[in-house]
């Protein structure tokens, strides 16, 4: 379990890094290249490039170098980036989602961008009296070239050409307030997509053409993240009493979301559980957080949890990956210094 980099993105206190599974954290200062009071909404990294981490923020797109220990702002047409995903087969292909809701594609690691075609997507929602935002982008793990995007409040979108053109799919959705997406095979072998919304979860078994609402056995239907484990079968779901809410649950399913079991998090929760972070390098290591900054760690696949001492004001993104090859003494010291 040694050699792990853990990253937290906050709404107003930029990024925080941990190299000891979250027991201690450092806060890179503004001299590292990213304003210390930035709002960081998302992260992305690729196994083939252990030096690079991308962060989407209210100040645009940033790239962190583990070797250089610095952030570099990436020139782009985007000013407020809420989601990022990299092609599993090619780290140079990046899809980014913005507020207001828009989807962008780069094929050269962020050097240039093209705007994805999203006919009819709205910039402003009457529901929340504010801008729409892309909450998740997902490369389909089953059908190469297909991508999925959830927009809050703007429904579900699918691309079958690598992110250049997008189709709106909302037949059967009880809410267009979409938060999370997961693609997997149901126990009977049929491809399924789960989508979480403020009013519950939805399932599609026809590649998004129609959606069926599935009521949770819970006091609340508000669902945020749905994350597929590296085994391709186990699902984790965050559920609570609203945004930010005052309490909630972390749930796990081993049968494609047909049944959910509670995974008790220690102590009283201060808000709805928000993020779940996993990595294929160690499927037993899981991090989770609440919207208002509590962070939890499991080292046995979710059976038991430790509540970490550090609490943040508001966490919007959690991400972990194996640490890059051993750094020099000077580079390691910079982690401690900042």
Give me the CATH number covering residue 210: 2.130.10.10
CA angle 316, 118, 194 (to 5 degrees): 50
Cα distance between residue 198 and residue 177, in whole Å: 6
Q: Does residue 206 lie in a domain region?
A: yes
Predicted local confidence at residue 126, as pLDDT: 86
For tokens 């590649």, the residue is 207
8 Å CB contact between 53 and 42: no
Q: Does residue 181 lie in a domain region?
A: yes
User: Could you tell me the two tokens for 238?
Assistant: 């965050």
Convert the pLDDT of each residue in 161-206 to its tens digit: 999 999 999 999 999 999 999 999 999 999 999 999 999 999 999 9
Predicted local confidence at residue 45, as pLDDT: 98
Q: Does residue 42 lie in a domain region?
A: no
Q: Does residue 321 lie in a domain region?
A: no
Convert the pLDDT of each residue in 5-18 to its tens digit: 999 999 999 999 99
8 Å CB contact between 226 and 194: yes
pTM of the predicted model as reported, rounded to 2 decimal places: 0.95
8 Å CB contact between 55 and 65: no
For tokens 């079958």, the residue is 160
| Domain enclosing residue 171, as ranges | 75-215
Predicted local confidence at residue 326, as pLDDT: 66
Give every residue of the chain whose pLDDT is below 70, as ranges: 1-2, 326-338
Predicted local confidence at residue 260, as pLDDT: 98
Q: Does residue 159 lie in a domain region?
A: yes
Q: Does residue 150 lie in a domain region?
A: yes
Predicted local confidence at residue 1, as pLDDT: 52
Cα distance between residue 196 and residue 215, in whole Å: 11
Cα distance between residue 39 and residue 19, in whole Å: 22
51 Cβ neighbours under 8 A, 6+ residues apart: 65, 66, 67, 324
Predicted local confidence at residue 329, as pLDDT: 41
- Number of folded domains in the chain? 1
Q: Does residue 282 lie in a domain region?
A: no
Q: Does residue 16 lie in a domain region?
A: no
266 Cβ neighbours under 8 A, 6+ residues apart: 296, 305, 306, 307
């Amino acid at each position: 379990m040694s050699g792990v980099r853990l990253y937290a993105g906050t709404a107003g206190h930029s990024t925080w890094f941990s190299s000891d599974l979250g027991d201690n954290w450092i806060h890179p200062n503004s001299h590292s290249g990213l304003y210390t009071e930035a709002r960081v909404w998302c992260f992305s990294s690729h196994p083939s490039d252990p030096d690079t981490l991308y962060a989407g923020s209210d100040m645009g797109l940033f790239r962190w170098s583990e070797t250089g220990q610095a952030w570099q702002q990436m020139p782009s047409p985007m000013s407020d980036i809420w989601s990022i995903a990299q092609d599993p087969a090619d780290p140079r292909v990046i899809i980014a989602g913005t507020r207001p809701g828009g989807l962008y594609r780069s094929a050269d690691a962020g050097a240039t961008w093209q705007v994805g075609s999203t006919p009819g997507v709205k910039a402003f929602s009457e529901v929340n009296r504010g801008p729409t935002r892309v909450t998740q982008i997902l490369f389909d793990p089953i059908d190469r070239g297909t991508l999925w995007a959830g927009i809050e409040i703007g429904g579900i979108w699918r691309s079958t050409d690598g992110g250049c053109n997008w189709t709106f799919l909302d037949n059967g959705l009880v809410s267009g307030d979409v938060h999370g997406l997961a693609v997997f095979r149901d126990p009977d072998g049929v491809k399924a997509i789960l989508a979480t919304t403020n009013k519950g979860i939805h399932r599609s078994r026809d590649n998004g053409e129609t959606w069926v609402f599935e009521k949770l056995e819970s006091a609340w239907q508000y669902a945020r993240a749905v994350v597929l484990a590296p085994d391709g079968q186990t699902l984790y779901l965050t559920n609570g009493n609203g945004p930010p809410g005052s309490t909630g649950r972390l749930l796990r399913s081993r049968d494609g979301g047909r049944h959910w079991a509670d995974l008790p998090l220690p102590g009283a929760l201060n808000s709805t559980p928000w993020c779940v972070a996993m990595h294929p390098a160690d499927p037993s290591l899981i991090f989770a957080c609440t919207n208002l900054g509590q962070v939890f760690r499991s080292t046995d696949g979710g059976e038991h949890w430790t509540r970490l001492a550090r609490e943040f004001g508001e966490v919007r993104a959690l991400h972990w990956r194996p640490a890059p090859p051993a750094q020099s003494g000077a580079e390691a010291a910079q982690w401690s210094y900042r």
